[in-house]
Structure 1
Amino acid sequence: MPDGIVICVLPYFPSHMRKFLLLLGALGFASPVAQAQAQTTAKATPAAAQAPLPAAQHAAALDLLIAMQMKQQLASQTEMILKSQEAAQAQLVAQSQEPQTPERKAQRAELQTKMREFYKKSMSWDAVKEDLIQAYGHTFTTKELRELTAFYRSSLGQLLLRKQPEAARLVAAATQRRVQVLMPEMQRMMQALRK
């Protein structure tokens, strides 16, 4: 989750909930291992990452993204993230001890609208297409891109595309259950740090 979104959410919740949201944001939206790996990879191959893709490789990467139905996947993932955030916010509000004034309700509604606009603008196909092309184009050779495209256009590849969202939903639910199990321990750790 971008820092600005966390910061704009935080004023609407009491301090203990702010800490929870920050922790949840750190757990759910930022993987230090993935970030470290990405930074290490970027440092190891800066010239390759900066070099423009040959036209054939660029076209092959775009063709793969189309075969993977990336535009639809991005829209679906964005909607899933937004619904998850809205559900989490509703749960936090329900658990809050603070009165739910019309002003707070209006603030939450405005925040949800802004979050939707932000995600739809910043995570749309048009916004990230070139980044995805570059990422796939620098990761795979033109031959590999074409073979992957053939796979995604095959019946097995189409099956994967159809069933992958359900698998992702199950993984997300399992992750959410795991975070809920770990939450008391994380809260104890946060309380110990305050002492």
Structure 2
Amino acid sequence: MKTFIFLSFLLAGNCLSAAEPAAKKTPTEELLEVMRNEELAVDSAEAAFNATLSQLKASGIPEAAIAEIRTEARAMYVRIFSGPELRKKTIELYEKHFTPEEIVEMTEFYRTPLGQKTLSAMPSIMADAMKVAMPAVQKEMPAFQRKVADIVGKYKKPAGDAPAAPKDGE
């Protein structure tokens, strides 16, 4: 009889704990969930990386290697964007740039069909925008690199002015 009472008590305790609501999410955590933040970040990174994969393919890398590289890149992006530290920092960024009221408004928008469509389209839009911008970037890059070299050269100390290496014990 004692065993029955103990088991009944144990089962009742488990039912009560299972019925307890999960910890309430902050408005920013809720926003990131509605936005499918990690998924969107992975998809966006993959879309941007596709340009690199296209260059590799054009350089003669076999399709099997491209597929393997794509798989490795996705696994890396998932590791990066699903980590708790990045999630914490992302929450801090949203809370730095938006008021609590704005975060609630964004959450409400992203719950709508248009909000969900916006989120779904964003990786493709960003990838397409990069493709459109890439020719202009490539055209400007040599002049930009020369300017950067000139700027760095202006501030670079001559080799003879380099500080002496510390001696042992200093």
| TM-score, structure 2 as length reference | 0.54
Alignment: residue pair count: 127
- Determine if the alignment matches structure 1 residue 137 to structure 2 residue 104: no
Pair 90,60 (structure 1): closer, same or farther in 2 beyond 3 Å: same
Query: RMSD in angstroms over aligned alpha carbons?
Result: 3.8
Q: Decide whether the 8 Å contact of 2:27 with 2:104 is kept in 1.
A: yes
- Measured at CA, do residues 124 and 169 of structure 1 come closer, stay the same or move farther in structure 2, by a change above 3 Å? same
Contact 2:35 2:110 in 1 (8 A): yes
Question: Residue 10 of structure 1 corresponds to which residue in structure 2?
Answer: none
- Is the radius of gyration larger for structure 1 or structure 2? 2
1:149 deviates by 0.4
**Gaps in structure 1 of 5+ consecutive residues:** 1-54, 95-99, 101-105
1:76 corresponds, among 43, 47, 60, to 43
Q: Percent identity among equivalent residues?
A: 26
The one-letter code of the counterpart of 1:167 is I
Q: Does 1:170 align with 2:123?
A: no
Q: Give the CA deviation at 1:178.
A: 1.3
Q: Distance in 2 between matches of 1:159 and 1:109?
A: 28
Structure with the largest fraction of helix: 1
Question: Structure 1 residues 179 and 60, CA, compared in 2 at 3 Å: closer, same or farther?
Answer: same
Match of 1:157 in 2: 115
Q: Which residue of 2 aligns with 1:9?
A: none
| 1:87 counterpart (34, 37, 54) | 54
Counterpart Cα distance in 2 of 1:76 and 1:70:
10
Bigger drift between 166-175 and 108-117 goes to 108-117
- 1:91-110 CA-to-partner distances (Å, cap 9, x unmatched) read 4x45xxxxx9xxxxx9x999
Structure 2: gaps of 5 or more residues: 1-22, 154-170
Which residue in 2 is equivalent to 1:63?
30
Q: For 2:127, what is the secondary structure of its paired residue?
A: helix
Q: Provide the TM-score with structure 1 as the length reference.
A: 0.49
